[in-house]
Amino acid sequence: MVLTALAMAFITTLVVANIIAIKLFSFSVPIIPDDWLIDNVWVLPVSAFTYPLTFLITDTIAELYGRRATTRIVWMGFGCSILMLIMIYIGKILPGADFWVADGGQDSYDFILGSVPRIVAASMVAYLVSQNFDVFAFHFWKERTDGRHLWFRNNASTMMSQGIDTALFITIAFAGTVPGSVLATMLVGQYLVKVCLAALDTPVVYALVGLIRRYGDGDPGMEPAAPGLTHA
């Protein structure tokens, strides 16, 4: 039951991130000199704040249920994203009502969801590489630390995999559609945001793992508690 809920949260977050990634937002950081960046403007897809949640969830699943269960859910997320893409395409080719098309409905649909295939393609390449690497790295560090120091393997695996994800996703999704200088700020900015979120999500992972072990200890497939859960 708990694993099902975590899988649902993971897949929902992943699919939503793929859709909203089409929107770019910009902001400036007052403490950074303007000559470091072009007018000190950072440009990021809005999914930069939602997609990192998928790593939080997979690290929680990996800690509780092991590598096999986590890998299975990663592939389930891939399948659901492909299904979403097929549904969006079917919606695109179905003839729209005349009044809806006249009001610009089809153009809006094509502008927003028509960009999703490239976003999803970029996301899926980055997703498969980075998520599988995250699962591998998490368990690599878990074995090296004898199950201790959850905070370390959570941050180490996530920060490395987020670097891979950011480089692949931003390059494939936006290369050629935005100026090179903007692409560079997107790469750096998104990775920095993800690193900060990775550090901030550590207590959340501890809390989730602790709560689930306390109240859902009988859930099928849950692995025994590691020493690192109580000896950080």
In the numeric block, the tokens 């994203």 are attached to 81
Residue 219 CA, chain-centre distance (Å), reads: 26
Q: For position 232, what pLDDT does the model report?
A: 43
Q: For position 43, what pLDDT does the model report?
A: 76
Name the strand (E) or helix (H) holding 203.
Answer: helix 202-215
Rg (CA), the chain: 20
For the stretch 128-165, pLDDT in tens is 888 788 888 888 887 777 777 777 877 788 788 888 98
Enter the tokens of residue 228: 């690192």
Q: Are 221 and 142 in contact (CB under 8 A)?
A: no
For 174-210, give one letter per residue: b (16+ CB within 10 A) or e: beeebeeebbebbbebbbebbbebbeebbeebbebbe
For the stretch 213-231, pLDDT in tens is 887 766 666 766 655 444 4
- Domains of the chain plus CATH, in order, are 2-21+38-229 (1.10.1760)
Q: For position 143, what pLDDT does the model report?
A: 78
Q: Are 27 and 185 in contact (CB under 8 A)?
A: no
DSSP state of 37: S
Instruction: Give me the helices (H) in 94-149, please.
Output: 98-102, 105-113, 116-144
Instruction: Please return the burial class of 20, using the count of CB atoms within 10 Å of its CB with bins 0-12, 13-18 and 19+.
Output: middle
Other Cβ atoms within 10 Å of 99 Cβ, number: 8
Q: For position 231, what pLDDT does the model report?
A: 41
**Which residues in the chain land under pLDDT 70?**
29-41, 116, 217-221, 223-232
Q: For position 228, what pLDDT does the model report?
A: 47
Number of H helices and E strands in the chain, helices first, is 9, 2
Distance CA 167, CA 174 (A): 11
